[in-house]
A and B are shown apart, each in its own frame.
Chain A
Amino acid sequence: MPDFKRPHALTDAYLHYCPGCTHGIVHRLVAEVIDEMGIENETIGVCPVGCSVMAYDYFSCDMIEASHGRSPAVATGVKRGNPDKFVFTYQGDGDLAAIGTAETIHAATRGENITVIFINNTTYGMTGGQMAPTTLPGQVTQTTPYGRDTSEAGFPVKVCEILSQIDGVALAERVTVIDPANIRKAKAAIRKAFEYQKKKQGFSLVEVLSTCPTNWGMTPVQALERVKTEMIPYYPLGVYKDGAVRNKEEN
């Protein structure tokens, strides 16, 4: 049996995430992929504003902390200046699908050769559980105390479905990390996203349905159950777009 060790691409820092939060699992998967591809030396990560704002302390590769929502633009700047390096962003739902919608869509339309790890937990975690663009209809949050009323607050943003219509997208896949089988699938998706970047095939995004027990008012186990019973029916798992954007001549 192989040793269960901390990936080299994670630092020794103690993660600040709440008990039962799935950020730690996703951090680990990204780090394992970086280790397995042997690319830590040439990778630059961009972290968001949100609970994972301090991911720069957790990943061992070079890191840049972006302003709220602007990670895909920041990553674009890094990548255009350093086309042979690996660049990934790690963003939450408020960051990516509300304030950063334009940056997300346009990095995708440009086929920007970066990898986006998108954490969808249907809430703004860091600021205390307000309605996110991905908050489900009827979901109670601090700013939807009577449940998200779609006639007032509109409908959730389905990021993978939107990206599936964009020519610049090489990979848009939705996964979750609620059990070992799904964690394995999530890792495979993240690996594929980085591999596509290596082959300069375009924009890749992996959406990870995640938990926020603290702001959902649930135990960690209840939170995992909620992903299965409430989130997956609204946000079906699967591959929404898969295929190289650029042909061989351009590579």
Chain B
Amino acid sequence: MAEKSLMKGNEALAEAAIRAGCKCFFGYPITPQTEISAYLSKRMPKVGGTFLQAESEVAAINMVYGCAGSGIRCMTSSSSPGISLKAEGISYIAGADLPCVIIDVVRGGPGLGGIQPSQADYWQITKGLAHGDFHVLVYAPASVQEMADMVAKAFDMADEYRMPAMILADGLLGQMMEPVEFPDVEIKMSDASNKPWAANGHKGERKHNIINSLYLQPQELEDKVVERFKRYEDLKANHTMAVADYCDDADIVVVAYGSTARLAKSAVDAARKEGLKVGMFRPVTLWPFPEKELREATKNAKKVLTVEMSMGQMIDDVKLAINCSKPVEFYGRTGGIIPAPADILNKIKEMGGNK
């Protein structure tokens, strides 16, 4: 039987990473993700893994690059300003087609910003992130249980598609405590045995492997990028995830992800109690964005409301997904202020939610 524990989101994620075979963790202290490092510094030595506190975010992501390049499951975690520092390394990891998991427990920005929950890294994580043509897989958990479940999913998908996968959480999810169950499986330490491309010593059995993102011949580089984008197309077609509630008859569909989706869902439930025809759509993968699921969920809606803990970033993807075929409005708070369900409900009513 699976054990059930009351844990903080950050700790649940850390424990789940170990159970998913994460053998090495490289991190640098930053609020509000500290519990991940603290937890792994205690647990990793007990299970024969490595916890290393790097000298910087830059060093930590490059340790991940080397470790992942040798075929070992590894992870780093940070919060917004630290993710900016990791951007260079993430581009190299993507350019060398290496699997790894990166956690962003988002805080308010820009600059040093604040330390309270935020979703203001959406653009950074799902769009550019760093130089070059590439994407990373992005999962947005909305509960402590999902923090645990998605880290295992992220490792598996990163391995299968040979690309970095990110968990986009926020201070709220990271710090709050909820019951969490871990599947009753043995802790595994994932090695390079199924990674014939890994640079881990050729043992005289093969030609040397090279982990690299440098291609000086333009045609070679274009071919590499095009091949990568074919994998992205496969992900878009087959691996988007979303949850839709009461959307079939909804006049207004509310779209929100992560902890904001929990708050928006409260507002939607309250609206339904008042007899308003309101639906709820939660993207779970942010890249690839669940476009076809959103089109389906909003096909009968007259309006869409996007709710975010930012000035409105995901709203761009919402508009693109439905091709601006209906009005998309926005409600959000930023700077570390959490949108209140009552305020979201007011916005729904302002938009003319009908009985």
Contact = CB atoms under 8 A, between A and B. Distances in A.
Interface of A: 11, 40-44, 46, 53-54, 56-57, 59-67, 70, 73-82, 85, 102-103, 105-106
B26 interface: yes
A78 B69 contact: yes
A63 B289 CA distance: 35
Contacts of B92: 66-67
Contact of A106 (B26, B55, B211): B55
Contacts of A79: 66
A78 B70 contact: yes
Contacts of A73: 54, 58-60, 62-63, 66
A77 B74 contact: yes
Interface in B69-115: 69-70, 72, 74, 88-89, 92, 96
A70 B62 contact: yes
Contact of B50 (A60, A62, A81): A81
Nearest to B91: A67
B199 A80 contact: no
A62 B199 contact: yes
Contact of B26 (A40, A41, A64, A77): A77
Contacts of A40: 202, 204
A61 B62 contact: no
A105 B56 CA distance: 12
Nearest to A75: B66
Nearest to A49: B214
13 contacts: A43-B201, A61-B208, A62-B208, A65-B210, A66-B65, A73-B54, A73-B58, A77-B70, A78-B66, A79-B66, A80-B67, A81-B24, A82-B72
B208 A77 contact: no
B322 interface: no
Contacts of A77: 24, 26, 62-70, 74
Interface of B: 23-24, 26, 50, 52, 54-56, 58-60, 62-70, 72, 74, 88-89, 92, 96, 198-204, 208-214
A59 B208 contact: yes
A61 B201 contact: yes
Contacts of A42: 201, 203
A76 B69 contact: no
A106 B66 contact: no
B89 A62 contact: no
Nearest to A61: B208
A41 B199 contact: no
B227 to A, nearest CB: 19
Contacts of B212: 56, 63-65
B63 A102 contact: no
A194 to B, nearest CB: 14
A78 B67 contact: yes
B59 A44 contact: no
A6 to B, nearest CB: 15
A62 B211 CA distance: 8
A80 B76 CA distance: 14
Nearest to A105: B55
B69 A64 contact: yes
Given A77-B62, A80-B63, A44 B50 contact: no
Given A70-B58, A78-B66, A85 B52 contact: no
Contacts of A75: 66
A42 B205 CA distance: 11
Contacts of A78: 66-67, 69-70, 199-200
Contacts of A11: 208
Contacts of A54: 214
Nearest to B60: A73
A85 B64 CA distance: 17
B201 A66 contact: no
Given A43-B201, A73-B62, A103 B70 contact: no
B203 A74 contact: no
Nearest to A87: B66
A81 B203 contact: no
In order of increasing CB-CB distance, the 3 nearest A-B pairs are A77-B66, A77-B67, A74-B66
